[in-house]
Amino acid sequence: MEYDSFRTPDDDVVRDGADFEAYRRPGDLIDSEHPRIVAYARRVAGEGADRDRALRLYYAVRDDLRYDPYNTPMKREAYRASTTLAAGHGYCVNKAGVMAAVCRAAGIAARVGYADVRNHMTTQRLAELMGSDVFFYHGYTDVWLDGHWVKATPAFNRELTERFGLKPLDWDAVGDSIYHPFDLGGRRHMEYLAYRGVFADIPFDEIRGAFRHYYPRMTRAQEEMPLGGDFGAEGASEAKSK
């Protein structure tokens, strides 16, 4: 399959034909009705306007779930929001799914979107594993607030950004929260290259196929990885040395 053909000219192309109500309902992987998701959303979101509740959810998902690009098995269950929340770690794709799930559980419409980004500061280990500094299908969340979609990217937890000297991905629930082009020292960081559309649920089969195409070595390892893994010692050691 020619996965490059799935790139979209704009960031709001609905690739799965979903209607707006689909962004309120549970999905297979964005399982917003799961008791674990419901309890978390209820505890974190609290009372008040959607904007205030979405902000609380964003910062909780960003910082409660450690960013870990190494240890999400390439298995459908590992991408389920309730599974990611229980694991306590994930990367941009499944953390964005958690954000969408807890928003829906709190009565706020949300969907997931994807972009290709170049990470000019990716770690040596990850670059070797991926064979590239381009992150295909980087995941973010679109949240419906005040009558329009606002991007939220709860990927990098604060501890990680402080360790690597990156700008934290803050959000005000008014403007978009997307990766910063430069770090705190002025070095080139993230560059958006293309978009892949928006979806009501995580398009697992498409992402798995694309990763097999773009990252064959990494994906083979992820397909053999058991559920319930934790942050690899090599990755943790590399992060602590930065």
- Report pLDDT for 158: 94
Question: What is d(CA 66, CA 162) in angstroms, rounded to the nearest whole number?
Answer: 13
- Report pLDDT for 230: 46
The domains of the chain are located at 3-240
Question: What is d(CA 7, CA 9) in angstroms, rounded to the nearest whole number?
Answer: 7
Q: CB–CB of 214/74 below 8 Å?
A: no
Paired sense of beta strands 66-67 and 89-90, if any: parallel
Q: pTM for the whole thing?
A: 0.92
**How many CB atoms lie under 10 A from the CB of residue 237?**
10
Tokens matching residue 128: 């070797």
Paired sense of beta strands 110-119 and 134-145, if any: antiparallel
- DSSP per-residue string spanning the chain: --GGGG-BSSTT-BSS---GGGGTS--SSS-TTSHHHHHHHHHHH-SS-HHHHHHHHHHHHHHHSEE-SS---SSGGGGSHHHHHHHTEE-HHHHHHHHHHHHHHTT--EEEEEEEEEETT--HHHHHHHTSSEEEEEEEEEEEETTEEEEE---S-HHHHHHHTPPP----SSS-----SB-TTS-B-EEEEEEEEEESS--HHHHHHHHHHH-HHHHHHHHHPPTT----HHHHHHHHT-
Q: What is the CATH number of domain 3-240?
A: 3.10.620.30
For the chain of 242 residues, list the mean pLDDT of each consecutive stretch of 10: 93 97 98 98 97 98 96 96 97 98 98 95 88 95 98 95 91 93 88 97 98 96 81 36 34
- Report pLDDT for 181: 85
- Report pLDDT for 173: 96
